[in-house]
Structure 1
């Protein structure tokens, strides 16, 4: 019996993977520098550490609000419209944002209001981009290699999310405009790559529901499927509480006192951990005890975050952040595979939108929470408290969602699939 072919042997999937990796690298390279410039402008303008941390909180909030408002409808767009076309339009908007920031930085015109305004447009673009790309991947490969394709897609996204800040930090040392120039180029690569994807068939939405009814149907599916709900909300609360990334500018400038070069290293450390973990899974895909291992990975993520908060040594901080990145990649690999494999194709756009909303809540709104907490109790206490909260979340979720403790493989139980199909048919009856 021959081995299953690699998704990379399929041209559409290769183009998709390059597009997703390039776009995510660009996004997160920009986001780190937006935060760094905001914090430095605030500190140089006379704000103390707490007040400047509050500006970082506002950046997170301004990115989250468009995602919060638009994500349910962007998921519907991913299920009703051409997913590739939606992704291309949002990448073009992000290119405009990158080009604007590059010009403002080059001519030394950058200001906090400009950074706040562009953050809103980035939030709008990402609200529609995430569900479209996440739902597109399963349409590009045969069903028998779908788990591998989902894992590779998750690796591209997570690697870009963690490696992107490192690229932005190192290029900022060369010139403040360089991270945005690189982001513009990476967005251009992503746009070009999507153009190489041919016709993509997908499953139409069943029934004749109105758009609002279809949005509600996607939300109801997430609530009904305890595996999907548990996996999504575990990430929401754990990363929401333990997100130290937003406070990297504070640690680089005022706690570890390592400046812009140190900021690059802080961003690179979790990137290295994530990259090595992703490389390991590309050769040795995870197959057994996936639920318990996901819970353990999130607990390790919280412990390493606590250690980073207490550390005053740059080498120790980098080592702990390496562990943070590795544990995060480990849990994301499992979580995204479970969510995609437990969701029918006609609902993937809407379920991906719900997943994106929780990721945005944990990342962007988590940045707002971390910045606000740093303003109230200080950045060190904020990071340590967040790490402890992530560990408590793991313990609570293991009790509330026992399916996370008992899931052994990525394959959804046949009984669950049959139950979901029956309930969906019943809802469509007049």
Structure 2
């Protein structure tokens, strides 16, 4: 009898360990296998007849073991799944044993337990990726809370069975009630995910609409600029003849006055410069982010200058466009935030942006902005979690560095000359790095 119990506990412990590593994707290192395996295999043997206590202590140990690990949440969620699975296995085995009248048949009971374990392994093998996906999603804390609820519910159910030691109307009712609660909890979680997906989709649609409006504004700007140029070309001869007479007569004062009046009435210099050089960017994602940020600067009345003299038709092959867009977006946001802070203090703000690409395929991007008078630690502003509300807008530089670390041919530098912050990025063609 004892041998059968030990064999069953070993099989259950090995299954628990396999389920944990399968779902959590925690490294099955020698240290992890020995440490966790010893607990999973020994606790059920030490807690003879009180399997629920063994499972509870097992969960506590796993939480303690991974308390300082970056995989803490995934590990906690995975061991809770193990706890839920153990309870469900016990419930199913107990019900089958009662219904088949094999409670006193030791070996048949063992066979039932093994069949249920094999079925459990089969189910976990099918769904382990979905469990892991939920444990690393934005809703992982909600999912872990749901698992905790399921663990408590199923554990209470199996304790009730062990107390009655037979299938009664009350135990069946209690089991059905728990199952309804489980289905309700899972359905609620599923509905929460669907609502979030809907909100995310709506957010993405709003973003696309905003980008479309910005592109429409850019198109309207080009059309208006073309009209202005056409009108200027149409009457510049008359203007030139008038100015020519003033110049010949030596009346320079009148000449300057006429030029000034013509500029004010016919050319809105600021609007004319709004999207200057953007037409040289041929990559849609880059063009879109630049238009968006220039529009924000213009709308916030931040003086800026954008320069792109080369046609940007491609970036080095190994660079993900979205990574480059994120870097440009973060650096522009930092400059805009700092400029807004300067304007609030009634101080001058200015942003300079430059993008270029040479014949070898080297890509350069630089943004420089005026900053408030404060001491800046370049090391500090690149640290994750650094708050910049009281100093320069360095928020996001840690994210930029994490992107940069993905690419050997990407170089980023920061400089803080007096009164300015300078961000400079260079991407060399991959073939030049490998040569």
Per the TM superposition, whether the score is higher than 0.5 is no
TM (normalized to structure 1)?
0.29
**Higher strand fraction: Structure 1 or Structure 2?**
2
**Higher helix fraction: Structure 1 or Structure 2?**
1
TM (normalized to structure 2)?
0.29
Larger RCO (alpha carbons 8 Å, 6+ apart): 1
